Structure 1
Amino acid sequence: MNDRNLQEEKSSKNVDRRDFLKLGLLTTAAALSAKPSQATPLTGKTEVKPPLQKYIAKQYDKLLGGALNGISDNQLKAHFALYEGYITKINELESRIKSFDTNNPDTINYRGWHLEQTSMLNGAVLHELYFGNLGTAEKEPGGALKKMIDRDFGSVQNFIGHLKTVGKIAHGWSLAALNFRTGKINVYGLERHNLNVPTMVYPILVLDVYEHAYMIDYSTDRKKYLDAFVMNLNWKPVQERLEMALSIPFGEAVTV
């Protein structure tokens, strides 16, 4: 995999997903209200858990074997290999950064590593979110997700229209995310993994529009690929991500 491909572009979870989702369900009503929820003051009693020592590539074999319509196994396998390259690279970079002697006056490499770190990390995580929201388990949004989409976009059809339109014009990614500053769902376009990345947002739906995501199946016909993506969109993880995001209070307090 060359640098150009990298530019175009199984960790275990530290957080108990079930507890997160339970908490998210309790806070959904507050998130849908007109007034932003208030942040809870820090008590100093937050448990600090040991971090993961390295990134481990997640497996997405469940998407193979004809599980998707219009996205072939060959396309997926090539895409998986690219993602695994990001995992390898981010592990290498963070190891170098950790061992770097900051008293060394030669900081040229240090600067380059940090710039590349954001690209490799986002490349890995965005691909995990992308693969994660592919599938056919749940074909329509429901619950809080449906209510918030209707509130912020008028309808699911309008929401998908925004997502696809950004997908047509962006060079890298089209993603929907919960904006912690406003409590709204917005659609954002990223030119590259680490370019035009918004802050204080939580991605809930991710669409890869780099050519590597569809070249094998559709050559340069991005429109057909976008249609195939929507046809294979699994709303279940999108709903779960939103519920996790809603466990965090939104509004002015997030920029305290």
Structure 2
Amino acid sequence: MSFELPKLNYAFDALEPNIDARTMEIHHDKHHAGYTSKLNAAITGTDLDGKTIENILINLDMSNGAVRNNGGGFYNHSLFWEIMSPNGGGVPSGELGEAINDAFGSFEAFKDAFSKAAATQFGSGWAWLCVQEGGKVEVCSTPNQDNPLMPGTGCGGSPILGLDVWEHAYYLNYQNRRPDYINAFFNVINWDEVSTRYAKGK
């Protein structure tokens, strides 16, 4: 069983002006497609073949660079597309909203913490909002295509929101203005999807 590149639930230009169509097209059709094919090549004929991507990452041998980089790239982008929406933005409500307020004091304080994690990730990487068993949430960041499911990353729990801060995610439109891209991301977050992931993850 090989992994397949997931289809987007919206058009390439649907997130404009926050994320431009050309970036979305290259990011999905080239970068994510590349991670998908290289992941399949790395696991074919091994004992990882046929396992879920979550199972592969949770039990990952971190010295296996091909699976670490491409499995991470496959999983991270699959999550990334789903937690964005043309109808996104706003403030989360319900249990997730309460968990964010409990952990950070307010949505604005969470936004500051998440933005700082994304802005200060040196080089390429991701910023994450994770949920622990029991419902507590935390913000962290990882380099390259690492993610909180992998052992020893310093992040705990299940990732429910992730922001790609690799330059390929924003450079065509924002050039070196990563903070502007981070700020625009909040306009397209699909909080309904993040809330669904929160309910499962806790």
TM range (shorter): 0.7 to 0.9
Q: Say whether 1:242 aligns with 2:193.
A: no
| Structure with bigger gyration radius | 1
Q: Which of 169, 181, 195 in structure 2 is aligned with 1:225? A: 181
Distance 1:128 1:238, change over 3 A: same
Query: How many angstroms does 1:223 deviate by?
Result: 1.2
Query: How many angstroms does 1:67 deviate by?
Result: 3.7
Query: How many angstroms does 1:136 deviate by?
Result: 3.5
Q: Say whether 1:207 aligns with 2:159.
A: no
Contact 2:99 2:137 in 1 (8 A): yes
Q: Say whether 1:57 aligns with 2:5.
A: yes
| Runs of at least 5 residues in structure 1 that lack an aligned partner in the other structure | 1-52, 100-110, 247-256
Give the AA of the match of 2:191.
W
Match of 2:24 in 1: 76
Secondary structure of 2:13's partner?
A: coil
1:63-102 aligned within 5 A: 63-80=11-28, 81-98=30-47
| CA RMSD, 1 decimal | 2.3
Query: How many angstroms does 1:191 deviate by?
Result: 1.5
Match of 2:120 in 1: 169
* TM-score normalised by length of structure 1: 0.65
| Runs of at least 5 residues in structure 2 that lack an aligned partner in the other structure | 49-60
Higher helix share: 1
**d(CA) in 2 for partners of 1:63, 1:232:** 14
Which 4+ residue blocks in structure 1 deviate beyond 6 angstroms? none
Give the AA of the match of 2:26.
A
1:172-187 aligned within 5 A: 172-180=125-133, 183-187=135-139
Q: Which of 124, 127, 137 in structure 1 is aligned with 2:74? A: 124
Contact 2:132 2:201 in 1 (8 A): no
Give the AA of the match of 2:5.
A
Secondary structure of 2:162's partner?
A: strand
Higher relative contact order (CA 8 A, sep 6+): 1
Q: Give the % identical residues.
A: 23
Give the AA of the match of 2:132.
N
Number of matched residues?
182
**d(CA) in 1 for partners of 2:11, 2:140:** 26
Distance 1:112 1:242, change over 3 A: closer
Distance 1:145 1:222, change over 3 A: same
Secondary structure of 2:35's partner?
A: helix
